[in-house]
Structure 1
Amino acid sequence: MLLTSHHRCAPPRRGGRRPRSGVADLAGCLLLLALVAAAAVFCLSSSSSRARSRLQHEDGGSRETLPSGSGATPRVTIFSAPRPAPEGSPARQELAVRSWLALPGNVSVVLLGAHASSLAIAGRLGRRVTVDAAIDSAFTGTPFFHSIVARAQAASDSDICVLVDAEIILLPEIVNALAHLSKVDRDWFLVAMSRNITEFHYQLADNGSHWVQADGKTVSFRKLREIPADKWASESSDKGLIVAWNSPSSPLHAGVLPSFLYGRGAHNRWLAHEVLSSEMRLVFDASGLVLGFYPESFSSMYDMSASKSGRLPAGSWEYSVNCHLAAIYGSYCYQLPRRHSTVLHKVVKQSEDYLFSKAHELTLSDFVISKKEKAHGGGGSLRRNENVCLSGHPHSSNLPYSLSMLLEHAADKNRSVVLGVAGVSYRDMLMNWACRLRHLRVTNFIVCALDHETYEFSVLQGLPVLRDPLSPKNVSFDDCHFGTKCFQQVTKVKSRIVLEILKLGYNVLLSDVDVYWFDNPMPFLYSLGPATFGAQSDEYNETGPINLPRRLNSGFYFARSDNATITAMQMIVKHASDSGLSEQPSFYDVMCGKNGTNRISDDKCLEPNTNLTVVFLNRDLFPNGAYKGLWEKHDVQSTCKKLGCFIIHNNWINGRKKKLRRQMSTGLWDYDPTSRLCLKDWSDRGSFRLMGQFHLFEDTDR
């Protein structure tokens, strides 16, 4: 088709006669333009008629043409989360990313996570590859699938998002198919199974424009598509899926996307099923096209014996978590009545045309060999076999790690850990605390759960959690604040756990989960030196001593693992167990003496039996909830930063609801309980806060 804007009247030949007037010249141009436009319309009409005739003729008229829209080249962004060695192969990942950059059209790549391998790949391959580390991950380093999808949906500069495993090589066919689908005037979702290739002997040329053999000879894309492929093993087939969708900001499905662990099975197929069931988008099954392939079997490259650090056993429990989530969220594991789908279409290619035909179910299982097939050589539905597995999975999750294993994994170079303690009534506050620590890159924290509900919630949220078997039962949901009987029982758990950790040789920063962190205080607290116990002061008067009787706050303190501190903590635990009060008075009475007899200055005490120095921390740096009325300031964060605050404690207020209201209304909140995601720079914080005012006191389910 000729575009009329590209044509102009020819200039007169040298020596020829010029037209007699400008009017005649203009008339000639207009006539030529009209003829060109008419010819173009005729050609387009004839071409469209032939295409419709051909599509209707195929398969007895069962194939159809979907509505078409703009023909502009779509902006495609490929998202992936590379895995560090030994689980992932840096060489295969770089080859895969180079294949993505070699795709035609407007393609960019976003690597998710903060692994050094991702940064190295981006540094070598140029500006079209960026790294976004602001992705939620479990304490093992495994990214969360719902965080990855949320990041992709926040891609305002993209028309189409592609989500693919970091070691899958993509072929130009995927861009051609996506460009064709971009003309559809509806929201859609594409799913396709890549080909599992045992051996791959080709490399991209230096300029990335074509593939070559070992001898340097160019390999055609047709030959690549003809490479024999093996079927995927059912337990690893989820990694072989390629998914893509348009209109990134529009919902993919109805309901909540659970906190699946990325690359640990079930999440891709679960998402495809929920998108299909929700019928909010057209679903295109392009598994019949060769869009990409994986150059080696996953089973031979994934080491189930070690995680990223080599210290924690990875594997089965993370897969069990995903199976558990797939079983309790959505309809993936339920046998729904069979009915014809109104949104599912199968995509096939004939010559250079893409044809769409209505389909009744996804064809992903055609590329997978199930466990039953491997054992008996028979057929079977991947979906049915997987449902049997999921339905038999217990609806609970447990970490296979002891306290000592968690400490070894979490501790920093000084063998220091941050400890948070929470029960079911404070689990959203717990996640806000954990999100804030993640944002500050504080990874050396562990959580003690006071009940099974909080323990399971923490496991599903990727927290390094332990369950205290001696914690009190029947913890009140709304009435467990300072001064209540519940508070007295719960606080005594904290000192017992701290003592146990100290005896294992680790320093402990105990931080209540209602403490908001502006900066990491650990280097400052560690600098206080040995035989020193640093604790927050609960004194609210702005002048005078800050270590008066009962003004030591046991909700934020740093204890070193030395003989003096361990002995003092043993005395505190014993004193608290014999007391009808909370543990907080025991801290002061043991270390500063009853009525403050061991005070040696306005901000220090000296425990005489151990020579342990107790430092009451500067309140400008570590303010409590009543100091200087900071919580009532118009901009709490700016005011605290001017003071140089490391933290601020959300105490001196009674009741869970009031505490939540105060913290959320001041903007010191980093967690969205609806999506179960930490708020990021790309999150819509404004709409979340508006939502929070309506749902502030509603309790989220598991």
Structure 2
Amino acid sequence: MAVMGLATMATARTRANTGSSIIGGRSGCRRVAAIGAGPATAAAMADASASGGGDAKSMRRSWHGKSWGKTAVMIRGMVGRSRSSSAPRIFALLVICIIIYLLRGNHQREQGHVPPPHPPLHHRNHGRLPSIAIFTAPRLMSSSSTMVRTRQELAVRSWLAVSPDVSVVLFGRHPSISAFAAALGPRVSVESAIDFTFLGNPFFHTMVARAQASHSDVSVLIDPDVILFPNFITLLHDALQLDYDWLLISIARSSSNFSFHLDDAGRQWLLGDGGEINLDKLQEALVPKMNLSHCSGRLLIAWNKGNIPLHFGILPPFIYGKGFHNQWFINEALSSELRLVIDASEVLSSFYPGTLGDYLILPGSDSGDSNKRVWESNGNANLAAAYGTLSFTPSKLSNLVQFVVCSGEYLFINAEKDTLYLLDAVHQQRSNGLNKVPSQDHEKSLLSQRKPFQSKVEERWRTCGDYNNLRYTEDKCSINEFLKVSLTLSPPLFLPFSLESLLQINADESKTIVLAVAGDSYRDMLMSWVCRLQHLSITNFIIGALDSDIYQFSVIQGLPVFKDPLAPNDPLAPNDISFNDCHFGSECFQRVTKVKSRLVLQILKLGYNVLLSDVDVYWFHNPLPYLRSFGPAVLLAQSDEYKNTGPINLPRRLNSGFYFAHSDIPTISAMGKVVKHASTSGLSEQPSFYDVLCGEGGINRIGHNKCLEPETNLTVLFLDRDLFPNGAFKGLWEKHDVRTACLKMGCLILHNNWISGRKRKLERQVSSGLWAYNTSSRMCLHSWHVTN
């Protein structure tokens, strides 16, 4: 779509006379210079003009190699010759042309070798400077990672320095990132309301979604170590002049021994010894250090705030920084042909100063360093191979244009169509009064196509374009090369964490863990439950997987999941869980519940307190502070009593879908009796809980809300139903506004039970608004979430 428009765009920029008028551009200036200068000078400049700049290169080098004092002497010599041989008007035009000629930059920039540090900002007065929101996910900064902090701080300060209209958003929830942001000033903020893996890595699809929700003119995703220079803001301003939506990408070059830094004010670049260095000299110093044959892989992705999607389809839940997500994203943007894709790698001044560390590994990880965390990259590879077109369709490059600079002009090169386009034509047409195209109608777009060329200047642009195109096809950092990935589905994913190591990583300071047990038929409800806990900043949970499908799904979703260690030797373990028929009372349900009590007992024996919560329990607030207040040797369980009044500890009214157990001798002994009783029962574990702890028929009941198990001396407390209501209490699920009704009662949780069938249970919870997961985008719902 984007390229069909490019091919039919009308030419709008016209150079005026190429004779002695300054309007004629460089060739006009050269002709004036030849008239006004002496014979030798005129001959030299004429040769330079005829050769397209060969002699001019050495001539300009001589100008730049001298001080302004010496330049003034040379001008005064010309003044003498001008007064004796030509009119003052010609002399004035000569001086102006010389100054313009000198300021246009060296021949190397004309040929596109190095982007100019200060390219022209066209028609800046025709609109305000764009607001830019830069999003990044910094690596965690421990006390031993001084290098990581220093380099990331330099990168962020370089972004802030390009414009006062730049704001920076850091994705993260670790305290070190908040402290890092606070030290960088008010334009830097922290966003923790995205999805993370249990090890703290952000998900790429939620990073993109959060950036898309920004109200800024331009959203940018960038590696946290990439350094930007001021031409970044100029490029974005020019791209915003286009009358259609675009996606701009740039691959940063690696630069070794980056020894420069910004002053305290963030305005001036300094040498290692503290001396000042201007941007021209700094970039010239960096060029020899850039590895042109090695791609850093660090990407900058920017797009304008428009109505056109970035690509078709849904972005899979790639883990950021673990491979394949950038290639997948660019490939889908190209294949979708919705936006013009601009490769600005040759023009944008961005550098990656060497290789830094990876995300901080949390204590207790069996995997050691990040190089052993292969399940993350394998998971990304599986997603890239299973979704989209990266694995089987060559990238469509017809809507990919390369952004280059030639002879001081910004040009677009479409290698696929062997065509050159001028960005400056946009501004010329606007000054001529053309109305802005109100939609994606590329047939009337303002970008002009230049083919064939009609002047020597345009011929030089073509030569420059051919040169850049040749370099582009050979460049290891070109998008063509970047998209060449080998994808094969890896074997089933496996987390290298035992149950003990997951507990060590995830348990809170009181050694308390929240346990959920689920099968694949409840994957959506599991994710909504997880998202709700994350919204409440509760991270001390683990997932027991009842089948291989939910285990694989949980690994991809970054959840702390484990398989039942005893399942392979347990003939009663569930292995054929039905998608729709594992509801209350079914044989499948009976087997599943018995796994839950057995897992709780294992964790208690490992020294951790356990809050067992079914995934159909919605959490309004964190109940753990309340539950921990009762002390040891007390098991707190939800009452399943449906009557609004009367005792809540009547026979078989203990709900085993929500209870809190301390890791102490009375509780462990009592839970052992429950597990043993359930293993020989033809019912679910729930009757075993009551019959063992409260006695058959409730003979061990105390008052209206307690039981006492006589052999272990364990007290069972049935929780207040106003705080912990079940699905039948006071008809809460039938209320018009379930949330408001519950909060008015003071609910901490609400159980979605007392309803038959998985589908009906799911529909009831979603329709009530007590739902926290987007099943189509596979991400948690956040306050910034944009719904279509």
If the TM-score is normalised by the length of the shorter chain, which range does it land in? Answer: 0.7 to 0.9
Aligned residues: 615
Native 8 Å contact 2:378 2:490 kept in 1: no
Matched residue of 1:481: which SS?
coil
Query: Shift in Å at residue 354 of structure 1?
Result: 1.3
Name the counterpart of 2:155. 96
Name the counterpart of 1:272. 330
Letter in 1 for 2:405: K
Name the counterpart of 1:19. none
Native 8 Å contact 1:195 1:290 kept in 2: no
CA distance in structure 1 between the aligned counterparts of 2:292 and 2:616, rounded to whole angstroms: 47
C-alpha distance 71-351 of structure 1, shift in aligned 2 (>3 A): farther
CA distance in structure 2 between the aligned counterparts of 1:191 and 1:321, rounded to whole angstroms: 25
Native 8 Å contact 1:154 1:248 kept in 2: no
Matched residue of 1:89: which SS?
helix
Letter in 2 for 1:343: N
State the Cα deviation string for residues 503-548 of structure 1 (Å, max 9, x = none).
Answer: 1111110000000000111111111111110000000111110000
Query: Shift in Å at residue 318 of structure 1?
Result: 1.6
Q: How does 1:60-75 map to 2 (within 5 A)?
A: 71-75=127-131
Matched residue of 2:238: which SS?
helix
Native 8 Å contact 2:476 2:482 kept in 1: no
State the Cα deviation string for residues 333-359 of structure 1 (Å, max 9, x = none).
Answer: 2253x76x3311011012442110103
State the Cα deviation string for residues 403-455 of structure 1 (Å, max 9, x = none).
Answer: 10101001011111000111111100000000000000000000011111111
1:461 partnered with 2:557: yes
Native 8 Å contact 2:638 2:719 kept in 1: yes
Native 8 Å contact 1:274 1:330 kept in 2: yes
Query: Shift in Å at residue 288 of structure 1?
Result: 1.3
1:255 partnered with 2:357: no
CA distance in structure 2 between the aligned counterparts of 1:72 and 1:159, rounded to whole angstroms: 11
Native 8 Å contact 2:327 2:483 kept in 1: no
Q: How does 1:97-112 map to 2 (within 5 A)?
A: 97-104=156-163, 106-112=165-171
Query: Shift in Å at residue 207 of structure 1?
Result: 1.7
Q: How does 1:585-664 map to 2 (within 5 A)?
A: 585-664=687-766
Q: How does 1:72-221 map to 2 (within 5 A)?
A: 72-86=128-142, 89-104=148-163, 106-156=165-215, 158-221=216-279
CA distance in structure 1 between the aligned counterparts of 2:491 and 2:760, rounded to whole angstroms: 33
Name the counterpart of 1:423. 519
Native 8 Å contact 1:71 1:183 kept in 2: no
Native 8 Å contact 2:256 2:290 kept in 1: yes
Name the counterpart of 2:786. 684
State the Cα deviation string for residues 151-190 of structure 1 (Å, max 9, x = none).
Answer: 000002x111111011111111221111111111111111
Identify which range, 314-323 or 673-682, moves more after superposition.
314-323
Query: Shift in Å at residue 401 of structure 1?
Result: 0.6
Determine what percentage of the aligned residue pairs are the same residue: 53
1:675 partnered with 2:729: no
Query: Shift in Å at residue 284 of structure 1?
Result: 0.6
Query: Shift in Å at residue 116 of structure 1?
Result: 2.5
Query: Shift in Å at residue 53 of structure 1?
Result: 12
Which of 385, 395, 402 is the aligned partner of 1:346? 402
CA distance in structure 2 between the aligned counterparts of 1:107 and 1:129, rounded to whole angstroms: 9
CA distance in structure 2 between the aligned counterparts of 1:536 and 1:45, rounded to whole angstroms: 85
CA distance in structure 2 between the aligned counterparts of 1:661 and 1:277, rounded to whole angstroms: 36
CA distance in structure 2 between the aligned counterparts of 1:272 and 1:138, rounded to whole angstroms: 24
Which of 395, 404, 410 is the aligned partner of 2:500? 404
1:490 partnered with 2:605: no
Query: Shift in Å at residue 218 of structure 1?
Result: 1.8
Which of 406, 410, 414 is the aligned partner of 2:510? 414
Native 8 Å contact 2:525 2:616 kept in 1: yes
Q: How does 1:264-663 map to 2 (within 5 A)?
A: 264-298=322-356, 301-302=357-358, 307-309=361-363, 311=365, 313=367, 314=370, 315-336=373-394, 341-360=397-416, 366-367=475-476, 383-384=483-484, 386-387=485-486, 390-391=487-488, 393-468=489-564, 469-470=567-568, 471-663=573-765
Native 8 Å contact 2:139 2:358 kept in 1: no
Native 8 Å contact 1:365 1:382 kept in 2: no
Native 8 Å contact 2:327 2:482 kept in 1: no
How high is the TM-score relative to the length of structure 2? 0.74
C-alpha distance 45-397 of structure 1, shift in aligned 2 (>3 A): farther
C-alpha distance 489-432 of structure 1, shift in aligned 2 (>3 A): same
Q: What is the RMSD computed on CA atoms of the aligned residues?
A: 3.0
Native 8 Å contact 1:193 1:367 kept in 2: no
CA distance in structure 1 between the aligned counterparts of 2:642 and 2:760, rounded to whole angstroms: 19
Native 8 Å contact 2:220 2:302 kept in 1: yes
Query: Shift in Å at residue 206 of structure 1?
Result: 1.9
Native 8 Å contact 1:153 1:249 kept in 2: no
Matched residue of 1:178: which SS?
helix
How high is the TM-score relative to the length of structure 1? 0.82
Native 8 Å contact 2:308 2:338 kept in 1: no
Query: Shift in Å at residue 208 of structure 1?
Result: 1.3
Identify which range, 672-681 or 288-297, moves more after superposition.
288-297
C-alpha distance 351-403 of structure 1, shift in aligned 2 (>3 A): same
Q: Post-superposition, which runs of at least 4 consecutive aligned residues in structure 1 deviate over 6 A?
A: 41-54, 67-70
C-alpha distance 667-159 of structure 1, shift in aligned 2 (>3 A): same
State the Cα deviation string for residues 574-627 of structure 1 (Å, max 9, x = none).
Answer: 111111111110000000000001101110000011000000000001000000
CA distance in structure 2 between the aligned counterparts of 1:504 and 1:232, rounded to whole angstroms: 54
Query: Shift in Å at residue 51 of structure 1?
Result: 8.8
State the Cα deviation string for residues 189-246 of structure 1 (Å, max 9, x = none).
Answer: 1111112122111111222112011333221222332313454998x943x1111111
Letter in 1 for 2:506: A
Native 8 Å contact 1:68 1:184 kept in 2: no
Native 8 Å contact 1:267 1:326 kept in 2: yes
CA distance in structure 1 between the aligned counterparts of 2:22 and 2:601, rounded to whole angstroms: 78
Matched residue of 2:747: which SS?
coil
Letter in 2 for 1:92: R
Matched residue of 1:346: which SS?
strand
Query: Shift in Å at residue 145 of structure 1?
Result: 0.5
Name the counterpart of 1:11. none
CA distance in structure 1 between the aligned counterparts of 2:523 and 2:604, rounded to whole angstroms: 25
Query: Shift in Å at residue 105 of structure 1?
Result: 5.7
CA distance in structure 2 between the aligned counterparts of 1:117 and 1:249, rounded to whole angstroms: 36
Identify which range, 441-450 or 124-133, moves more after superposition.
124-133
Rg comparison, structure with higher value: 2
Matched residue of 1:420: which SS?
strand
Query: Shift in Å at residue 48 of structure 1?
Result: 14
CA distance in structure 2 between the aligned counterparts of 1:48 and 1:533, rounded to whole angstroms: 90
Native 8 Å contact 2:512 2:608 kept in 1: yes
State the Cα deviation string for residues 92-121 of structure 1 (Å, max 9, x = none).
Answer: 111111111100362111111223233223
C-alpha distance 212-310 of structure 1, shift in aligned 2 (>3 A): farther
Query: Shift in Å at residue 267 of structure 1?
Result: 1.1
